[in-house]
Each structure stands twice: as C-alpha cells, then as structure tokens.
Amino acid sequence: MTGTFRVTGVSVTRDEDGYGSARLSGVLSGPEVPARALRVGRRYGPGERVPECGDEFPATIDREHPGRYGIIWPEQVSPGTKALWNEEYAERVAAAMRLGLEPSVVPEVTGIGIRELARVAVERRYGRDLLPDGNRQITAEEAQELYRTGVRATATITGIDFLEVPSRSMPDAESSLANVAVRVNYPDGVEYTTTARFGFRTAARRAQIGFVGARVPVRIHPQDRARLCLDSPALPTLPE
C-alpha cells in the first residue's frame, strides 16, 4: 500500500569532511492504516540536501503488518559523481558541436554510477560508446543483417569527426572510424537528419567518401530509421 512520511523535526550532526547524520522525526500514514510517529536516521554527504520540516516523501506500507514500511528517499548523488556527470555531458556536447549539431540534441547525463562512467570512458576510447545525440551505433553484426534486410537509401555527410582509436583495435593500420551527421533521403521522399558511426577500411576509401558533402549509400534499420550504417557492399569500386 502507498502512503507518505511527513517530516516534523530534523536534527543533523556533521563531521569535518561535511558528511553527517540526520535524525528525522515524522508521521507515517496511509489510507487504510492509522498514522504513527516515527524517528528515522539518514546519512548525507557534502552538498546533499537534508529534508526540512514539512517535506513529504512517498512510502510503502504493509497493510497487514504496518510496522513493515519503506520510505522512498530522493536519490542521493555525491558532488564528485555530479562533477563526473558534468564532464561526461561536456564530452558529448563537444562531440556534437564537432558534427555541427546543436548542444540541445545531447541528452543529460544522470543516474550513471562511477563504475558505469568509467566503462563509458573506455568505450569512447575504442569507438564503442553512444553517439553524441544518444543514438546507438550499428554493430558489425547488425550491419551484416542490414545488408540483407535494411532499407536502401542515400545520405549526404553534413558533419564528420574522426575518432582517435588505438590502432590495435582496428582491422589494419589504414583503418579509421568517424562519427558522422547525415542528411538522409528516405525512399518515401522524406528527408531527415541523424547520426551514425562509419568505418573506413583504407586511406583510399576515406579519401573517396570521408568528408562533408560526400553522398554515400546507407542501409537503414527497418524499425528505427534514426539508426543506419554505411552500405559497404554498395560503395563504388576504388580505383586501382
């Protein structure tokens, strides 16, 4: 059963590092159980907001055993984690601007733990992270499927940002990887923009189509037209 916990009193003690303990007095109530007074303890880090008198928080109460309850507190985020979120957001905004995109297309970074942020940083280094606007790149396995089932279309590269990827993670020394912004001419006549990650196997291929203004064949995911890959089998033959 859903209820509420209303704060009626707060007592806080903090140590020299800014961490502290709060003793909260309040009233737990629900539509089918009598209200009861409670005192609960919470730990708070530097900069985290401590509840004030009059604040209300949702709670769950066991109807048959009202002594069993849970108070749903706002998510606690340390200043250090918020700083890392801001750094990750800045990385994505910079990547979007290099493609000529507006910063407004970049989703906010929230709810990611420090370990997850570290994993994202590693994935970015190897070109496996999300695209700046949050779009998910087509994997090599998905591309093989899209060569058979994807929608054929033509796209114009409107922005390109080559990634600094360790050579040992690429197929060979000439290979390169880039984030691209593209304007797509869909077969039904609709024109739209999206992002993708293109791989160029050789320096010659990069010179042929790896620039703003290049028109390239693409295969579009049949269930999500925002996701597409370079249609490698349909690329023109490179000169000898």
pLDDT tens for each residue of 109-118: 876 777 788 8
Average pLDDT of span 45-74: 83
Same domain, 110 and 154: no
The residue among 21, 18, 19 whose CA lies nearest residue 10 is 21
Examine residue 131 and state whether it is found in any structural domain, yes or no: no
Same domain, 23 and 59: yes
- Phi (first) and psi of residue 143, to 5 degrees: -60, -40
Domain range for 39 is 2-71
Reported confidence tier of residue 240, pLDDT bands at 50, 70, 90 = low
Examine residue 120 and state whether it is found in any structural domain, yes or no: yes
- Report the domain count for the chain: 3
The residue among 79, 84, 90, 88 whose CA lies nearest residue 47 is 79
Same domain, 100 and 168: no
Alpha helices in 104-231 (DSSP H): 114-125, 140-149, 203-209
Examine residue 135 and state whether it is found in any structural domain, yes or no: no
Same domain, 153 and 190: yes
pTM of the model: 0.70
Handedness of CA 29, 33, 37, 41 (dihedral sign): negative
Same domain, 221 and 172: yes
Reported confidence tier of residue 14, pLDDT bands at 50, 70, 90 = confident
Examine residue 188 and state whether it is found in any structural domain, yes or no: yes
Examine residue 184 and state whether it is found in any structural domain, yes or no: yes
Average pLDDT of span 47-65: 84
Examine residue 213 and state whether it is found in any structural domain, yes or no: yes
User: Residue 144 has what pLDDT?
Assistant: 95
Examine residue 239 and state whether it is found in any structural domain, yes or no: no
Q: State pLDDT tens for residues 174-207.
A: 999 999 999 999 999 999 999 999 999 999 999 9
Same domain, 44 and 109: no
- Collapse the DSSP code of 233 into the 3-class scheme (helix H, G, I; strand E, B; otherwise coil) and give the result: helix
User: Residue 90 has what pLDDT?
Assistant: 95
CB 196 within 8 A of CB 232: no
Checking if the pLDDT of 76 tops 70, the result is: no
Same domain, 225 and 147: yes
Examine residue 240 and state whether it is found in any structural domain, yes or no: no
Handedness of CA 186, 191, 192, 197 (dihedral sign): positive
The CATH code of the domain that includes 191 is 2.40.50
